[in-house]
Structure 1
């Protein structure tokens, strides 16, 4: 039993000796050693990552009690402590820096100690009385950092996707589609290489973005399937040492019920514990999404540029003053923020890739970095998309007259003449228009290259900007 040295501290002992632990904290000696060793960033574990670990510990407590590996009262104490943490209590007790001991042992023991000490209180004992409930022997029965942490990364990723990113993407896709419908009849100049191009519909620009986001959501769904296959039960090296024969299947079933997700045991536990490929796969899908989000955010900024010296085809809603010195200035801050977050996600993806290849033999010791970067990427991307949607996309309005003026003044309209007067004649018309300021219509008629009626038909902007329907397979046959 722990010895109480005075009213403010308790003495705890591990294999390296003794330390004084403040009586008001629920973590123990191994956590304190980690806090002293890793004063690195001041960044503590993400709440979603803590949740993932607590769900695992709750599932293991249930399974181990069912299988007779720990007593029912100890199991109930751990389960109640887990439920309290999941409800928001004791969140300030998870204190180990995200840059810590390899594989995540320090954070893992932080979780084990908090659950053990709170379970002790629930059952009427004092914190630190580890002969009754032990962080290693009871809370961690049949487990190892080496199978718990890769499982926690999977569960944390799934929770973040379910609660943050996927709802944000669905909302953004809906908002983009609504704007596409609203702007469908607005003709604007297309631009390629940042130069004038053939006319398009403003609505189709938004519809394209909605499709891009839909495609990314599908890619992320596919990649996240890897997160549902768990190596939990592999124990220290993937052999299942010190676990009940039925534990592996039972704990995965229970965990799946707790988070409402169809989980399954990995076909080879050692492989699931060693390879970080599932996390690299999901991170790559996030990076891919981030790259297109940067492009979309830059497009929005260009189309809103001005108000007097830019395109100003659309107006992004002003959400705050844009300058400390220039009155009346409003900046596209939500789009700017989006790009910054996406750049960070791309950096995280690179770090995850480096960490994933840095494992040796039966373990990858870089898992704490992967855990933080992956879950954080999912959550900041989700929050960013929500902010961009709710404070920008939903309230965009267009300047139809400005859009049409650009479309009508574009020399790229000459493209429609190619099949009627030939490419070289069309190029000559465009060159003369640029040099003289005459309109394309005027030059074509002066040179008698087309009749007025036919020219009006060919240079119909409404028709030119209409996207041709896709042919069905039956049409093609």
Structure 2
């Protein structure tokens, strides 16, 4: 062990640890969730420190030897090294100060090593050098924006892959007629391809919204320090550090016009979280539909078959469950729960700062990651392997009453209702009941009750009339 000091006193720290006394106190103070700070946030914080060190070096505020050591150490962490040196609980008081100091101390000790010193000797100081011209209040929200952007990019790609998988099934199932249902009751004919087209379109909306919302995260308050006024920060540093941050992140970041606003208000994270929730709602609805459409398979709807990925029961041999959609449903529920936590945390900021950004970071970043994984799994392990039970769909159409709406323009509501009642009472297809009523010839019935025509816009009676007149439909 080694002994370190701060203004509160002394504390023992593991001599092999790269963190120091501030991190050790936070470790002792916040044994809450058992979940660590998201590694993407740590990597983003490291890049912020690198940009700050580079700016301070070029402006002559930081010695070259120290600056280069900080930059090298920061790039190591940004590349995924030393991530085991960030042990803090994701939920912590102090608006992220503990995490900021954890990064400062790890960078200081690693930079000290690079300069030939031993951990704990601090040839590079965590506050005076690594944290120069910074505050947790501008560093932490800036890093959170960077981390969110970096995670949103693969999410957008995953949603694109899911959209593509659904569109492939749309084309494959275009010719399969089946009952359309409203409120779980038989309604009108639809093609299986049309159902999948709606799923694809919903995902397309989510994909576009998530792609565009990244732009809302590009404004940062780095350089605003404590409350956004830029106290203790040279003006030239404020402009240069943003330039360096763009360079090291390869992101189109910009200094906020009002840094006080971005230091006080976290509503942009609510906006992003809300779009994640919308995507979760669509993913969850699609997953539920796939479970329902594949239900049975002999006593349920059984219109599609999902890929068989694992045995479904320890007591019922041969049973296979829709485990992928079930897992995606649970992920969707979790993302919606994440959104509530983000909303409450962002609303609870007071005056010049939001103290609850650690909670925002934890839930927002995990929600993005969870959605990314869910979209990938749903596309690869479920959607791409779906097969249609074409003959069963056809049988359901033949034996249902979903053709009734096509009779309305020709027979009117009362006569059509009477035919439907007759079909129900006798348990016969509506086509048979229609012929028994002698309200229409067999040829007229065949032409009017054309399944494919009934899945397209327009009124079948008027289409037939146009055809009889030699016109275009």
TM-score with structure 1 setting the length:
0.94
Aligned partner of 1:121 in structure 2 is: 113
Paired residues for 1:119-268 under 5 Å? 119-130=111-122, 132-163=123-154, 165-268=155-258
User: 1:334 & 1:439 partners in 2: Cα distance?
Assistant: 36
Unmatched 5+ residue regions in structure 2? 459-473
Cα deviation, residue 467, structure 1: 5.5
Aligned partner of 1:21 in structure 2 is: 13
Aligned partner of 1:76 in structure 2 is: 68
User: 1:190 & 1:340 partners in 2: Cα distance?
Assistant: 26
1:227-283 alpha-carbon deviations (Å, 9 max, x no partner): 111011100111111212122222222222322221111110000111010000000
More moved, 264-273 vs 16-25: 16-25
User: 1:254 & 1:429 partners in 2: Cα distance?
Assistant: 76
The answer on 1:441 being equivalent to 2:441 is no
Paired residues for 1:217-366 under 5 Å? 217-366=207-356
SS in 1 for 2:188: strand
Cα deviation, residue 307, structure 1: 1.6
Paired residues for 1:359-374 under 5 Å? 359-374=349-364
Counterpart contact for 2:219–2:256, Cα < 8 Å = yes
SS in 2 for 1:461: coil
Aligned partner of 1:92 in structure 2 is: 84
Aligned partner of 1:101 in structure 2 is: 93
User: 1:67 & 1:218 partners in 2: Cα distance?
Assistant: 41
Cα deviation, residue 222, structure 1: 3.0
Counterpart contact for 2:228–2:260, Cα < 8 Å = yes
Aligned length: 458
Counterpart contact for 2:306–2:387, Cα < 8 Å = yes
The answer on 1:43 being equivalent to 2:44 is no
TM-score with structure 2 setting the length:
0.95
Match among 391, 395, 410 for residue 401 of structure 1: 391
Counterpart contact for 1:201–1:466, Cα < 8 Å = no
More moved, 274-283 vs 40-49: 40-49
User: 2:332 & 2:76 partners in 1: Cα distance?
Assistant: 35
User: 2:193 & 2:164 partners in 1: Cα distance?
Assistant: 13
User: 2:386 & 2:432 partners in 1: Cα distance?
Assistant: 36
Distance of aligned partners of 1:467 and 1:13 in 2 relative to their CA distance in 1, 3 Å threshold: farther
User: 2:152 & 2:97 partners in 1: Cα distance?
Assistant: 25
User: 1:67 & 1:290 partners in 2: Cα distance?
Assistant: 46
SS in 2 for 1:125: coil
The answer on 1:452 being equivalent to 2:442 is yes
Unmatched 5+ residue regions in structure 1? 1-8, 469-477
